[in-house]
Every structure is written in C-alpha cells, then in structure tokens.
Amino acid sequence: MSTGVSEERFPAVLWFTGLSGAGKSTIASAVVRDLLARGIPTEYLDGDAVRLLSPTGFSRAERDAHVKRVGYLASRLAYHGVTVVCALISPYAEARRHVRSLCDRFMEIYVATPLAECERRDVKGLYARARRGEIAHFTGIDDPYEAPEHPELVIDTTAVSLDAAVRRVLTVTEAVTMVGAEPALQSAADCRGETVAVRSADRAEGRFSLRHRSRSTWAPAK
C-alpha cells in the first residue's frame, strides 16, 4: 500500500493500547512490515514477548513496572533514530502518561474494540476462564482498563478493514514524524476522506502532539 510516508522523518514511538484480543498486535505487526519495507529503521516491542525475557506478575504495581520498562526501552531506541512500535494492554493511564513523558514523539493509539467482540474472538478461552474465576487480575473482567482520554488515534476494530487501519496509523505517523513540520494546525486526509487534525507543539523542543477529531473504526479482515 502507498501512503506517501516521507523518507526524511524523525523517529517516534507508536504505542498501541487496548483490551486483550482488541487487535493491537495484528495492526502493529502490519505497520511494522510497512515501515520496514520503506527502509525506515523500526523495532517492534510486543508486551507478551518482553514478558518472556523478564517474567512478572499481573498486580497493578507489576503491570505498571512492565509498561514503564518497555516504555524506557522504546524511548532509548527512538533517541537513537529507531521508530518503535509497541503493543501492550497497558491498562493504567498513569503508566502510559509516564511513557509519554519519556518520548519526544509519542503516538498513543487506542484500539477500542468492545469487550464483547474481544471475548468473541478469544480462541484461547482466556475471557471465559477469567469469568469462571480461574484467572485473576484479567483486564476487562476483574481488573479495570482505563481508556485513554486524549489518544492520538482511536481505532474500533468492528467496522474497518485491517488495511484501512494501517493506512490511518501511517497517515498520522507521517504527520508527527516528518522533517520540517510546521508548528501550526495541519490536516491530513485519512483513508475514508475524513480529516485527521494535527496540532504541532513547540517545534523548538522537537515535540509534537496529534489529535484525531473523528473516531475511527476497524474490523479484522475476513
């Protein structure tokens, strides 16, 4: 797919957050493939994969430590010129704010698939086990998910194709990472012809902030 992503660009951290089964890893993996195909230095940090390297539990403190650990690693990679795509449930707002504070260019992408759809997709039966009390601290069942209040992009995966979701992410990524972006309100068309409103913050500090003014939706490709 062609999105016109600029070859001259700043690195950024793309942070996918949402419930288990929302589609975070599916979209994130596709975005990584596209960026790498364009020759853009990119690394993918999946929350479950990182847990294998540093096993931890699922209490609030342990979850927050895990998110902050991945966030720190992502911020260092970005500092050295690598665009980092992260996919973690990351259920608590404070931990996500902490990660944002570490990164010069941070995109919070809320994959807002409804709980009922996440449960329907759950081939491993984890939600069912959690509802039976066999799994404790399961996000969305007996542990809360604090939805982002001001994410850069919201994708509800029940109505839009995977390709469309990837194009939306890449459109907003280009706006936040392109070299020479003006510190004013800019607009970029998304794949459905709607408008992605982008406000750049203090250019002298090299920090940019995006707000997607209309709610996006995505459904898994059949």
Active site residue 90: yes
Q: At what angle do helices 60-79 and 93-102 cross, to 10 degrees?
A: 20
- From 2, 90, 209, 216, active-site residue: 90
Distance of alpha carbon 164 from alpha carbon 166, whole angstroms = 5
- 181: its two tokens: 């972006």
**Residue 188 neighbours by CB under 8 Å, 6+ apart:** 171, 172, 174, 175, 195, 196, 198
82-to-71, 164, 167, 214 alpha-carbon distances in Å: 14, 24, 20, 29
Answer whether 14's CB lies under 8 Å from 107's CB. yes
Strands 106-111 and 195-199: unpaired
Catalytic residues: 90
